[in-house]
Structures are given as C-alpha cells and as structure tokens.
Amino acid sequence: MLHALPNLIPFTAIMTRMFRNSVDFPAGVVTAYQEKGFVEAEVKKGCKGRIGHPLSVHIVAPPFRDESVLRAMCDLYDAMKEGMKTEVRTRWLKDPIGQDTLQKLIASDLKDNGGKLGIATEGLLWLKRGQEFMLLMLIFMVRDYRKDKASTESLVSYSKWPTMADPVVEDQSSSSQDEVLQIKTLTKKQIQVLYRLLILIVDNFGGGRKDLFGCEGGRREGTSTAEGRKEEREGGGWKERGVEECEEKRLEGPMGGEEKKDTHSIMSNQVYNTVATLVSLKTTKYSVLGLITLYLLKKLKERSRRNKIQSLYALRIEAAQRERDEIIEWARKESKLVKDEERIRIESMNFMQLRDALQSGEVTAESVIRVYFGLAIEAHEKTNCLTNIIKESLKDAREMDKKAKDPSFKKPPLFGLAISIKEANELAGHRNTWGLAKLVDNYPSEDSYNIMKLRQDGMIPFCQTNVPTTCMTYMTSNSIYGTTTNPHNSSRTCGGSSGGEGALIGFHGSLIGMGSDIGGSIRIPSSYSGCCGFKPSSTRFSTLQLKEPVPMRPINMPTEGPLAQDPHAIVAIMRSIWSDQFMSNADPFSVPIDFREDLFKEEKKYRIGYYTTDGYIDPLPGNQRVVNEAAELLRKKGHELVPFSMEDIVSEMARGMFSTISSDGGERQVKLLEDEPLCHLMSPLRNYAEMPLWRKKLIGWYCKIVGDKTSADAMFVQSKRASDMQDAIDKVYATRKRLVKGGIS
C-alpha cells in the first residue's frame, strides 16, 4: 500500500493548499502538548474547554534536529490517540502500532468494528479537510521508526533515512508476499518527496511560527523556507545553526495576519511545485491510460447494450418474416381455388375492363382477390416485393359479392377492385414499420383517410409492399424484409421509396397501388419498373395520418398517390377520390376542390416547358433522350414545347431541402437509427448523421475544392440553431417566389 502513496501525492498537495494555520484537535492532544510546551491553545467560542469538544490548536514545533523530528511525531501520534480516547463522539479504537501492513490494519478494523473502518477512516472524522491521509502517513512513519530504534543515522539526510532507504523486511513465512509492506519499491526521489511533504505538513501545522530545524522565524529575509533549505542542502547537508544566528534572521514579532498568510502561501506553493515536478509525467501517463480505458469500457458497454437490443430485434424480425411466409402460403392455396378459365380471363383484363366486368357482375370480387393473390405471389418470388397478404381482403370481397346480389344495392364506382398498399401507409391492424426494426410491432388502429376513401369507393386492399428503411433512399431494402429488385432485371434496383409497389405493378402483380412521395418516391419506382405514377400536390390528399420518421414539414410535404399499369387507372382512381368533399371534410387542411371533369376533357393546346438537366445532378444520356422524345411527341399533338434552364435555382432548392431535413444537426436521424441492424444503404446515412459538425464542415470544404458541389451542400447545411432553420425556410419561400415570378431562363 505504501508504494502507492506517491501516486496520491498530487491529491495530498491540493488538500494541503486548503489547510489553515490552525487545526482542531481533541482536548487530550491539547493537554499533552501543553505539558510538553509544544502547543499554544485557545478555547473555541462556545466550547468553554469542556472535555470532548475540539479546541483550536496552534502547533508550535520545538527546535527539532535529526532524530528528534520523528520522536516528536511519535509524541504527536500518542497525544492524538489519547485525545481520541477521551473524545465523547468516538469509540475506543485499537492501537494500530505493531501491525505489519496497512492492509492488516484495515482488515483488523473491518473485523473489529463490524465491517466498518476504525482509525483508518471513521475514527478520524474529527480531522477536517482531508487530514486523514496526513495522519495515515504519520502512522507509517511512527511505526517504521519504532521498528528500528537502534538507528542513529541522521534523519534529515534523505539518502540515509533508515526506515526508507534500508527498510526492515518481515519474515516471509509469517505472512504472504502480498501482505509484506513493499517499501523497497520506493525510489530515492519518491522517498524524498514523502519526507519533504511530511516536514512541510508539520511546518504548516506550526503556521511558520517556529522553524522546524531550530531557527525561529521560519526563513531568512528575502528568501522562502524552501529556498533556505535548498541552500543548506547544496552546502553539503543541514547546517547547525545556533539560536543567535536564528535570532538575527528571525522575523520580528509573532506571526501576524499578513505574515501568516505569506508563510502559508509559500508552504502551499512549495508542496505543489515539488509534487508536480516529480509526478507530472507519471500522472499524465496514468491519466491518459485511464481515459483510454474509460473510453474502451464505454464502447464495450455500448456494444453490449446494442447487441442485446439487436438480439431482441432479431427475434421480432424472425417472427415478422415467419408470419409473412405463413400468410403467403395461405394465399397461395386460396389462389388455386379459382378455375383456370376464370383466372385467365381476369388476368387478361386491364384496369378499366376489370372495373366494367365487376360492375356488370361478369366476375366476382372474391375471384378477383384470389387471382391477384396468385399474381402478387409470383411477383414476390421474382422481386421480394411483398411484406404482407391481407387475409381479411377475402372476407371483404365475399361481403361485397353478397351485397351485390341485392337488387337495391348500388355498387360504388370502384367496386371489388383489388389495390396494393405501400407498407408505410397506415392500414388498420397491419404492420407499419417504415423498414425499421424498432417499429416491427407498430400496428395502426385505423386506416389513413385516403384508404378510408378507397374502401368507401369499393376498393379492397389485398397486400402490403416493401419500403426502404425510413423511406429515405432511392433503393428498397431494409433489415426486416430484405431487398426488393427490379421486375425486369433482378440485378437492378426497383427504385424507392415506393419500390415494392413499383416492382409489384411492373410485374403485373397488381393493377393499381397506393404509394407516397416527397422527393420522388412514386416517380422514381414508376420510371424504373415501367409503370405509371402520379404525385398529387401535397394538399390534394390528406397528410394528417401520413407520418414520416424524419419530420420534413412544413417545407417538404409528403403526399400519397397512385401507381398503375396504365394512366387510365390513375385517372379513374383520382376521379373517384375527388368526386366529393370526403377528403376536405375529414381533413380541413386539404384543398376542397373536386375533380375538374371539364378541364380534363377540354381539347386545349398547352404551352409546356421542359429541361433535360438541372445543372445540379446530370441525368444519364438515356434519361435525357426520353425527355426529348416525349417533347417531340407532344409537339406532334399540337402543343408548344419551350426548353428552359433551372441551373441557377436548383442548387438553392437542394440546399433548402437539405437544411430543413438536417436543421437539428442530425440528432433525429441518429436517434431513429440507433441500434438498428442497418443494410448497406443506410449505414452511410447513420455515419453522416453521427458525424460531428466540424468534420462535416471540413469534408464540405474538401468537396467544394474538388468540385463535388452536391456533397458540399449536404455537408454545409447542418446546424442546431433555430435561427438557421428559419433562414432555410425563408430561402425556400424566396425560391418559390422566384419560380412564380418567372425567375428561370
């Protein structure tokens, strides 16, 4: 234990700086030292000298020389011990002198005091401001001195200190190696520090009023005590100075307030400087190692916690996949109950033909649902597009067919048509995960208003389709249901975030489906999979129940919209949804405008603008070619096509979008993706969100230098200030104003 004391010296030095020139001792100490003439005592106000009450004591050191220093320490210890015995608030304590090691001392105290420490801690509660450690050091010195009383070596010569430089080693047979006090491990420097520190502590108790080595006044004029001692050491040892010499150099009068403060300051600085010089390197080394250890322990703890959570997620994911497989097998069996002739007839119909057949009763809703069960499963086996088959859709179809037998029943416009639903759109009683493992058990309690309207118009949701994690990537993959591929080439992507819908409809597994869009989530899958998609203006459909994990409103407004095999299906479903005020009545924030049949049927020639690149991200040559071909077809129809450029404004629009999404510095994304078993597409996004702001700025400058302005914009927009968010919103509205006023060339 003693060999570890030098490592505690910085702590001791800091405590020493707080010590006063007087310290409270029990009455027994006062009595003992008054008899020896070592102390001057004054009664604390209110104590009146009663036994058991601490008194304020100024220790006055006599003219100690050589071995008398430790003898005085022995007397000090004995007086302390006797004083503690007379203290009313403490119990009788076992004398620790004679114990071989501090470990034995502590072990004995624990045993004798019912598991509590005695003199090592509790018995020293009357000592204040960390003086317990000083007394422990004193106990060591006294004990080791008494073991070797025959030594006559000078104690003030550090290198010849008998109890340190040449310690007494106990018999190894009487105790284990661990119990033997390893004084030999102390270096000469450490011994010097311990001895000097002990002297300075005693000197501090004396308040500088008497020099520890026989010179009253404590120091020569113009020099500190430490400097005087240094001069004496350099002169070949401590000089014998007579009382006359000391009297010549002693400071006049008793120690006053300013002089007392000066002596205390000198002592404190001396302790601090001595300790800092000798242990700073070791302290720094251990501090760095300690910080590294704490960091590694923190990381291990985080990894352990993450592994536990991911293990729980893995069980939930496994259950979700098992449920999907079971429901698909059930649907496969149900699809085989339709006669081949009827199946072929239904499969050959497009949306409008099937709608008319259902209205006329040529086919039943139950047969349509069974047939599209089979078609959807075929698409799923090719693309992995399904997350669920809606089992109650078959029950809904039977109920519709039953109602249709009643002559008074008026069939709704979309009676019996099967519709697929993007998994991110809320469907009562069915998973709504957004591709996140933490939301595997999220089951909405009611349909979104848009699905309510579709049901009211006679459509039957029969399956749910896959989405990317958080619906924020242009590829469809998540840790729950895996990756969805392109229906025409499995080595290609189907796009996102309505990628499951695009793949299903592109493979003819569904005639029409409902997706959602904020930055291309309907339009991109439609383009990749070869189907039609329509993103309505954000307030044409209700968005109250369309939740997004990363809020982007009110600037970037999501909206639901249809995907279909042909544009006629999209027109039919939009006409039905906007045929009345259901949407605006359910959601007053949606625009109360019906489907304008007059404008739709109007044979008007339009002036249409187009561009092949926005100057921000250049499209592939094939995409540019398709835009030019579409423009040429429209010209042949008699419309006026006007090319224009948005290169000066798209970058502002992109920065506005990045700013509003990331205005919290990525905190929402970090929290959302925390502990998620992410696919390879989302890992970079989490790394980006967790990246410190200064690193993003640094990478942003690099991207700007090399010409990658897109990445630079994404790095520069991050902030955590509300004012930056407001600035971003202002810029978005300013950009909209430019567009409205024709700010494009």
User: Residue 160 carries which DSSP code?
Assistant: G
**Under a CB-based contact definition with an 8 Å cutoff, are residues 471 and 669 in contact?**
no
Residues found in the chain: 745
Residue with tokens 């990317």: 468
For residue 497, indicate whether it is catalytic: yes
Q: What whole-number distance in Å separates Cα of residue 538 and Cα of residue 545?
A: 13
CA pseudo-torsion sign 613, 617, 621, 623: negative
User: Residue 493 carries which DSSP code?
Assistant: B
Q: Which residues contact 230 (CB under 8 A, 6 or more apart)?
A: none
The torsion angles phi and psi of 27, rounded to 5 degrees, stand at: -60, -30
Residue 114: CB atoms within 10 Å: 6
Q: What whole-number distance in Å separates Cα of residue 320 and Cα of residue 542?
A: 29
Q: Helix (H, G, I), strand (E, B), or coil: what is residue 72?
A: helix
For residue 154, indicate whether it is catalytic: no
Sort residue 550 into left (φ over 0), alpha (ψ -120 to 50) or beta: beta
Strand duo 418-422 + 482-483: pairing: unpaired
Of 422, 453, 535, 696, the catalytic one is 422
**Under a CB-based contact definition with an 8 Å cutoff, are residues 450 and 462 in contact?**
no
Tally of CA atoms within 13 A in the half-sphere of 663 that contains its CB: 20
Residue 701: CB atoms within 10 Å: 13
Q: Which amino acid is at 261?
A: K
For residue 108, indicate whether it is catalytic: no
Q: What whole-number distance in Å separates Cα of residue 727 and Cα of residue 656?
A: 9
Of 479, 521, 590, 662, the catalytic one is 521
Q: Helix (H, G, I), strand (E, B), or coil: what is residue 59?
A: strand
Q: What whole-number distance in Å separates Cα of residue 735 and Cα of residue 740?
A: 9
Tokens of 159: 């290198």
CA pseudo-torsion sign 252, 254, 256, 261: positive
- Type and span of the H or E element at 389: strand 386-389
Of 393, 479, 497, 529, the catalytic one is 497
Reference 419, options 464, 374, 461; nearest CA is 461
Strand partners, 44: none
Q: What whole-number distance in Å separates Cα of residue 461 and Cα of residue 331?
A: 14
Q: What whole-number distance in Å separates Cα of residue 545 and Cα of residue 314?
A: 28
Q: Which amino acid is at 241?
A: R
Active site residues: 422, 497, 521
